[in-house]
Amino acid sequence: MSDAPNLDLIARQLRLRLIQMSHAAGTPHLGSALSCVDILVAAYWNVLKIDAAKPADVCRDRFILSKGHAASALYAVLAERGFFPKAWLDNFGKHRAPLAEQPAPNCAPGVELATGSLGHGLPVGVGMAMAARIQKRDYRVFVCMSDGECNEGTVWEAAMFAPGQRLEKLCVIVDYNKWQATGRSNEVMALASLRDKWAAFGWNAHDVDGHDIATLTRLMKNVPDGSGKPVAIIANTIKGKGVSFMQDDNNWHYRIPKTEEVEAARKELGLA
């Protein structure tokens, strides 16, 4: 175990980074970014076949963060994995800096898609997975979306289409934090049961703890799982995960942390 990275520590460090970025740039959606950190850590440390030195390699695994409002989490992860200098994070959201609140096309190495409008990542990911088969390339496509995003019709168009095409190298991870912008996601629409819905659409669907990096790793690593079906991971998460006064409080969809809140969060995360 001595050489293995301490992913729990890395996840906590990333969370503090996101809080600092939100504070410095005055950007919202912090709760949404915090909820998907463990999914990103599992993917980028344990699963994806990618090389920061060759970010455009045609055979790389693709990871699309379809919930573009959580882009700060993707940026922090990509910087930590060496896709671009960590100093870029300091200018997050600043005028003419490469990293905007939500990603633009080709804004930084490793960012696969400009997202921000919900419901776009999965159809595009389906196209990438079909392209792999047509071009006989052996890569997988992972799409991380939010539970609120599952309100969008295009999600379900793609959800029906992908199993029809037997896209077994496609994996969706739903960051199911139980909140959307202005309400409980199970009250705004009849979202539950997400696992049953994805299974009914023809996916191998799993209901898991979305903060359990080992379980997320095992399921994502197992794509394709041999069944011929795409894989859906319903990752049960907590919005604002990691900081007691942000957890499951939807005010942090829009709130910006103050200086003292950043410091309180640092202590709670056990970081010096």
Partner 1 sequence: MRNAFAKQITELAQADERVVLLSGDIGNRLFDDLKDKCPDRFFNCGVAEANMIGVAAGMALSGLRPVCYTITPFITYRCMEQIRIDVCYHHQPVIIVGTGSGLSYASLGATHHSCEEMGMLRLLPGLAVIAPADAIEVRGALKAALKSPHPVFIRIGKKGEPVIHKTEPNFEIGKAIPVRDGKDVCLLSAGNMLPAALETADLLAAQNISAKVVSFHTIKPLDEATLADAFKNFKLVVTMEEHSILGGLGGSVAEWLSAFAPAKARLIRCGTADEFLHETCEQEEAREHFGLTAAAMAARIRAVLA
Interface residue list for partner 1 (CB under 8 A): 58, 105, 112-114, 117, 120, 122-135, 153-154, 157-158, 160-161, 164-165
Q: Is the dihedral of CA 176, 178, 111, 76 positive or negative?
A: negative
CB of 139 to partner 1, least distance (A): 9
Q: What is the per-residue burial (b if ≥16 Cβ within 10 Å, else e) of 222-254?
A: ebbeeeebbbbbbbbbbbbbbbeebbeebebbe
Place of tokens 């599992």: 42
Q: Is the dihedral of CA 74, 80, 82, 86 positive or negative?
A: positive
Mode of pairing for the β-strands spanning 179-180 and 141-146: unpaired
CB of 68 to partner 1, least distance (A): 10
Greatest alpha-carbon span in the chain: 53
Q: Which is nearer to partner 1, 8 or 51 (CB)?
A: 51
φ/ψ of residue 110, rounded to 5:
95, -20
Q: Which is nearer to partner 1, 130 or 264 (CB)?
A: 130
* Closest alpha carbon to 169 in 39, 60, 83: 60
CB of 39 to partner 1, least distance (A): 21
Q: Which is nearer to partner 1, 65 or 122 (CB)?
A: 122
CB of 255 to partner 1, least distance (A): 28
Q: Which is nearer to partner 1, 58 or 192 (CB)?
A: 58
CB of 111 to partner 1, least distance (A): 11
Q: Which is nearer to partner 1, 157 or 261 (CB)?
A: 157
